[in-house]
Amino acid sequence: MSDVESRLRELVIETPSWGYGDSGTRFGVFPQAGRPRDVFERVDDAAEVHRLTGTAGAVALHFPWDAVEDYDALRAYIEARGLRVGAVNPNLFQDSDYKLGSITHPHARVREKAVAHLLECLEIATALGSTAQSLWFADGTNYPGQDDLRERRHRMLDALASVYAELPAEQEMLVEYKLFEPAFYATDLADWGSSLLVCQKLGDRARVLVDLGHHAQGVNIEQIVALLADEQRLGGFHFNNRKYADDDLIVGSVNPFELFLIFAELAAGDALPRLTIDQSHNVEAKVEAMVLSVVNLQEAYAKALLVDREALRAAQQAGDVLGAHEALLEAYRTDVRPLCTAARAALGAAEDPVAELRASGYAERVGTERETRQEINR
């Protein structure tokens, strides 16, 4: 148990700056009291999540959403709050120029604009001390014949190769994929295989980023983990949960057994990849939802660390189907809450993060402060 607790204390989860702001559905955005109005207030919320959980010491940033004039000042602010910058996420899906794609757009002018933003994010990441570019593209087509599918792939490879050539030595490129949306006929990076092929062409510092909401129903995510890890191309995870599609629900809220099985594969390797929460809570309180997500990740990882690997291996080699399955279930059924509580206490975090958050009055306090400042600024 001491080894498990030690590894739990080493766990690092990146929380996303965008997960603290207003969000909603395609039908509307639902403002919440106390919502942060700039990147500094988003960092404040991320720092509170880290204070409570002990393992959320990095904050992923999104540009231009988190753009500022002085990145040295932003980095200093983040570090003063006990955090560091996680992955940098370029935005290539909201500008009207990208209606038909960004790096796969049929017009060279638009592709050049997209590449310029990607190169800008390399500089931003360097200034902030980030070591990863996290790339997701909305590029794709909505109708058969809309564009040449092979041409789009060639444009994408050319654009990413030009960015990869400028990638600083300390940074890696994480290439995400998505089955559908907002392109509904063909997304240019539709699955892990498409992403892997791109990464293999780019170089060793290009790896696949898996988002748990970006697959068809019933896809075996843990098998994807095993395959990519075995090829040394698993760059990271965007954790959330889904019932139907890319629902951005709290991690572990719908399918906790799947989350455990994913961590069972992750824990089988030498080191964990980059682990990031990617959620846009619509009806939940933002900070509390993020705290609960981190706690659920801690517990899933703890259960995975308790798997008796020797017993599992012996059952597998003996062809003992149910014996091997029971080896996993034994760990999954374990109540790891006391273990996680001890690990958080050792880190100086809260034994019960959600309860402490509610008791602290943080949400009410920042709600009042931010509303007051907003009134003053008017």
Residue 17 and residue 46 in contact, taking contact as beta carbons nearer than 8 Å: yes
**Rounded Cα distance, 47 and 41, in Å:** 10
Q: For 60-112, write each residue's pLDDT tens digit.
A: 999 999 999 999 999 999 999 999 999 999 999 999 999 999 999 999 999 99
How many residues does the structure list for the chain?
378
Q: For 341-356, write each residue's pLDDT tens digit.
A: 999 999 999 999 999 9
pLDDT of residue 372: 73
Q: For 180-227, write each residue's pLDDT tens digit.
A: 999 999 999 999 999 999 999 999 999 999 999 999 999 999 999 999
**Rounded Cα distance, 365 and 356, in Å:** 14
Does residue 23 register a pLDDT over 80?
Answer: no
pLDDT of residue 269: 86
Tokens of 346: 């050792």
pLDDT of residue 22: 77
pLDDT of residue 21: 86
pLDDT of residue 282: 75
Name the band, by pLDDT with cuts 50, 70 and 90, for residue 1: low
For residues 235-261, give the mean pLDDT: 94
% of the chain with per-residue pLDDT over 90: 89
pLDDT of residue 27: 72
Kind and range of the H or E element at 14? strand 14-16
Cα 94–chain centre separation: 19
**Rounded Cα distance, 375 and 107, in Å:** 45
Averaged confidence pLDDT in the chain: 95
Residues 6+ apart with CB under 8 A from 110: 97, 98, 100, 101, 102
Cα 64–chain centre separation: 18
Name the band, by pLDDT with cuts 50, 70 and 90, for residue 176: very high
For residues 251-258, give the mean pLDDT: 96
Does residue 30 register a pLDDT over 90?
Answer: no
Instruction: Quickly list DSSP for 177-239.
Output: --SSSS-SSEESS-SHHHHHHHHHHH-TTEEEEEETTSS-TT--HHHHHHHHHHTT-EEEEEE
**Rounded Cα distance, 162 and 97, in Å:** 20
pLDDT of residue 349: 98
Name the nearest CA neighbour of 199 among 157, 256, 227, 151.
157
| Residue 194 to residues 93, 137, 179, 209, 244, Cα–Cα distance (Å) | 19, 13, 11, 12, 22
What pTM was computed for the model? 0.95
For residues 1-26, give the mean pLDDT: 88
% of the chain with per-residue pLDDT over 70: 97
Does residue 276 register a pLDDT over 70?
Answer: yes
Does residue 376 register a pLDDT over 70?
Answer: no
Residue 277 and residue 19 in contact, taking contact as beta carbons nearer than 8 Å: yes
Looking at the 3D structure of the chain, how many domains does it have?
1
Containing domain of residue 42, as a range?
2-377
Q: For 43-55, write each residue's pLDDT tens digit.
A: 999 999 999 999 9
pLDDT of residue 378: 46
Q: What is the CATH number of the domain that holds 22?
A: 3.20.20.150
3-state secondary structure 317-377: HCCCHHHHHHHHHHHHCCCCHHHHHHHHHHCCCCCCHHHHHHHHCHHHHHHHHHHHHHHHH
pLDDT of residue 280: 80
| Bridge partner residues of 234 (DSSP) | 208
For residues 327-337, give the mean pLDDT: 98
For residues 160-185, give the mean pLDDT: 97
